[in-house]
Amino acid sequence: MTLLQRLLAPIRWLLSVLGLTVPDERSQLQKALQQVGVSAERFIEGLKAHATEHPEPIFAILRRLRPILVQNDQVLVTRFRDVQEVLARDDVFDVPYAEKMRLITEGQNFFLGMPDSARYTQDVSNMRIVVRRDDLSTLVAPFVARTAEQLVASAPGVLEIVGGLTQVVPARLVAQYFGTPGPSESELIDWATTLFWYLFLDPDNAPDLKQRALSASGALNAALDRQIAARQARPNDADDVLGRCLKLKASGTPGMTDLDIRNNFIGLILGAIPTTATVTALALDELLRRPNQLAEAQRAAREGDDPSLAGFVFEALRFNPLAPAMYRHANCDFTLAKGELRQTEIPKGATVLVATQSAMFDERYVQAPQEFRANREQREALHFGYGLHSCFGRHISRAQIPGILKPLLQRQNLRRADGVAGQYQKAGPLAGSLTLRFD
C-alpha cells in the first residue's frame, strides 16, 4: 500500500469529518446495500479504491475541512500556498531520494537527491552549461518533430502510442542529443523505466523492484562508462551533451570527472524517457475524453500554433497527472502555514506528501479550477514541481511533449481503438499502452 493509499484509505475517518457514519444495520444506506447484495465493507473498500485512483474529490473535501492532514508521522498537504511553502523550504523538507540514488550509482548521490549545497550548485551549473536553452529551437524541437512525424507516418492508420511513439521519441533524443544511446533502444527504455519507478514511485521499497533496479543500474552504469571511455579514446566533433561534458573535463572544470559525468547522465536519462512517455500518453488520453478540446487541440496542431497546442496539452495534464503528489521528509520540527487558522506543527522525521494535483485545483489560488482552460498562466501549474528541485529538464519537456503529439493530432478522425486496447493501460505506475486509430 502506497503512502497516498494509507492517507486516503480511512474512509470512516472522512465520513466522520463530514458528520456521517459508516452504515449500520438500521441505516437506509445499509438497507439499500443489502437490496443490491453489497456489504458495507465491500462498499467502503470500493470507496477507498476509487479515492486512490481519483483523489481530487477527496482532496477538495480536505482542502476545505482538513487542508493539512497529519496522521502520526505522515502528513498530507493539499492547498496551493502550503504546497508551495513545503517545496520552497528545501532547508526543512528534504527530497527522499539520496539513499536509493547512492545505491544505483554504487556510492554517490547526484543533484536530483542533493540538498542546497556547494556540490548541488556545482553539478547543476555544469549541466546547465551543457544542456542549453538555445538548443530547444535549434536541436531539440526539430529532432522531436522529425522523429515523431516519421513514426506516425509509418503507422498504417493504427498506432500503440506508448511503445510506438511516446517512449521512442525521448529514447532517440537521449541517443542523439545527449550522445548516450543504449546497446539497444528497448534496453535503454527498460532500464530508465525501472530505475525511475524505483527511485520516485516506490515509497514502500518493494524487494522485487529493488532487485530489478540494481540489475538495470548495473547495466546502465556499464553502458555509460563504455560510452564515456570510447568518446575520450576517439574524440569526434559531435555537438551533443556528452561531448560538451568531456570538453569541460578537459578544461579542468571541477565536478566533471568520468564518474561525475556518468552519474549526472543517469539523472538526465531517468527524467527524459519514462516521464515523457507517460505524461504524453496521459495528456492525449485526457483530450480524448473531451471531444471539444480535442478538436481545438487538433486545429492548433494543423495550423502550427505551437503555443496554443502546448496550452491544451498541459491543461489536460492538470486533470490527468502522472502522480498526484511528491514526497518530502521533514528534517526538523516546522510550523506550516504559520499565522493561519490551518497552522499545523510538522514533526521532525515526518514524511510529507505534497499534493500538487490538489494544489492545481485549489480555488483560492487557481481561477475556475474545474474549467478546462488552455490559456492558463504557468503560475497556476505545478507539473514540474516548484523551488530548488523543480524539474531540471522542464524546458525540454515543454517543447518535447506537445511536439511528440503534434503529428498525431494533425491526423484526421483520430480516435481510440475498439475495446481494451483503446483505453489507457498502466505498467505499474507508468504508461503501458494506448492504441489509437486515424485516417
Same domain, 109 and 31: no
Q: Answer yes or no: is 276 within a domain.
A: yes
The CATH number for 250's domain is 1.10.630.10
Cα angle 404, 405, 408; round to 5: 115
Please report the sign of the dihedral spanned by the C-alpha atoms of residue 153, residue 154, residue 156, residue 159.
negative
CB within 8 A of 363, min separation 6: which ones?
369
Give one DSSP letter per residue of 343-378, joined into a string: -EEEPTT-EEEE-HHHHTT-TTTSSSTTS--TT--G
C-alpha grid cell for residue 412?
A: 484526421
Looking at residue 30, its pLDDT comes to 59
Q: In the predicted model, what is the mean pLDDT of the chain?
A: 90
Q: Answer yes or no: is 128 within a domain.
A: yes
pLDDT tens per residue, range 395-422: 999 999 999 999 999 999 999 999 999 9
C-alpha grid cell for residue 212?
A: 530489478
pLDDT at 188 over 60: yes
- Residues 291-318: b if buried by 16+ CB within 10 A, e if exposed: eebbebbbebbeeeebebbbbbbbbbbb
DSSP 243: H
**47: how many CB neighbours lie within 10 A of its CB?**
17
Same domain, 44 and 132: no
Q: Answer yes or no: is 112 within a domain.
A: yes
Same domain, 232 and 304: yes
Give the mean model confidence (pLDDT) for residues 153-169: 97
pTM, rounded to two decimals: 0.90
Looking at residue 205, its pLDDT comes to 87
Please check whether residue 79 is in contact with residue 87, taking contact to mean a CB–CB distance below 8 angstroms: no
Looking at residue 310, its pLDDT comes to 97
Cα dist from 16 to 20, 54, 65, 83, whole Å: 5, 20, 12, 25
**343: how many CB neighbours lie within 10 A of its CB?**
11
Give the mean model confidence (pLDDT) for residues 280-294: 98
DSSP 24: -
Give the mean model confidence (pLDDT) for residues 75-101: 95
Same domain, 134 and 239: yes
Q: Answer yes or no: is 64 within a domain.
A: no
Same domain, 153 and 228: yes
Q: How many domains in the chain?
A: 2
Cα angle 106, 112, 116; round to 5: 110
Looking at residue 8, its pLDDT comes to 54
Which of 7-21, 226-240, 420-434 comes out lowest in average pLDDT? 7-21
Give the mean model confidence (pLDDT) for residues 259-269: 94
Q: Answer yes or no: is 228 within a domain.
A: yes
C-alpha grid cell for residue 370?
A: 474545474
Instruction: Return the percentage of the chain with pLDDT > 70, whole number.
Output: 88
Same domain, 30 and 160: no
Full residue range of the structural domain in which residue 4 is found:
1-53
Please check whether residue 56 is in contact with residue 357, taking contact to mean a CB–CB distance below 8 angstroms: yes
Same domain, 253 and 132: yes
Looking at residue 11, its pLDDT comes to 47
Same domain, 111 and 40: no
Same domain, 222 and 280: yes
Give the mean model confidence (pLDDT) for residues 94-108: 90
Same domain, 10 and 154: no
Which of 159-168, 196-205, 354-363, 429-438 comes out lowest in average pLDDT? 196-205
Cα separation, 203 vs 197, whole angstroms? 10
Q: Answer yes or no: is 432 within a domain.
A: no
Cα separation, 347 vs 334, whole angstroms? 7
pLDDT at 29 over 80: no
Looking at residue 34, its pLDDT comes to 66
Same domain, 49 and 104: no
Give the mean model confidence (pLDDT) for residues 253-257: 96
Cα dist from 179 to 148, 240, 265, whole Å: 19, 6, 10
pLDDT at 19 over 50: no
Q: Answer yes or no: is 100 within a domain.
A: yes
Q: Answer yes or no: is 158 within a domain.
A: yes
pLDDT at 62 over 70: yes
Cα separation, 134 vs 295, whole angstroms? 32
Q: Residue 160: helix, strand or coil by DSSP?
A: strand
pLDDT tens per residue, range 297-353: 999 999 999 999 999 999 999 999 998 899 999 999 999 999 999 999 999 999 999
Looking at residue 49, its pLDDT comes to 63
Same domain, 47 and 112: no
